[in-house]
Amino acid sequence: MLGPDTAWYLAVAAVLFGIGALGVLIRRNTLVVLLSLELMLNAGNLALIALSRHWHNGAGQVFALSVMAVAASEVCVGLGLVVALNRRDLSLDVDTLSELRG
């Protein structure tokens, strides 16, 4: 294969996953949390595609497409939530949605 080995692609995927995880854990704006979630999903996709190419197994690409479809549905629902929150004039700050406080 031309270009870098599969390991390089996996490294990029790992770093991207870490960045996405950091974003989910740190940010307070719900929308940005959802965006970081997309990052993580894409990182997973990248790993899948890279390994599919490595082992000549089409299941990886199929899986990646399914992930994309599910990610789209999840974003749809998540954004629906954000819209509903906004319509009720609730804050979008994740920290204020704390009714489970002990």
89 lines the binding site for other proteins (CB under 8 A):
no
90 lines the binding site for other proteins (CB under 8 A):
no
- Name which of residues 54 to 83 contact other proteins (CB under 8 A): 54-56, 58-59, 61-66, 68-77, 79-83
44 lines the binding site for other proteins (CB under 8 A):
no
Find the farthest-apart pair of alpha carbons in the chain and give their distance in angstroms, rounded. 56
The H or E element containing residue 62 is helix 59-87
The H or E element containing residue 66 is helix 59-87
Instruction: Please state the closest distance from residue 85 (CB atom) to other proteins, in A.
Output: 9
The conformation of residue 29, written as its DSSP 8-state character, comes to B
Rounded-to-10 torsion of CA 39, 9, 50, 72? 10
x/- map, 4-43, other proteins, by CB under 8 A = xxxxxxxxx-xxxxxxxxxxxxxxxx-xx-xxx-xx--x-
Instruction: Please state the closest distance from residue 77 (CB atom) to other proteins, in A.
Output: 5
Q: Tell me the CB-side half-sphere exposure of residue 34, using CA atoms within 13 A.
A: 17
Instruction: Please state the closest distance from residue 97 (CB atom) to other proteins, in A.
Output: 6
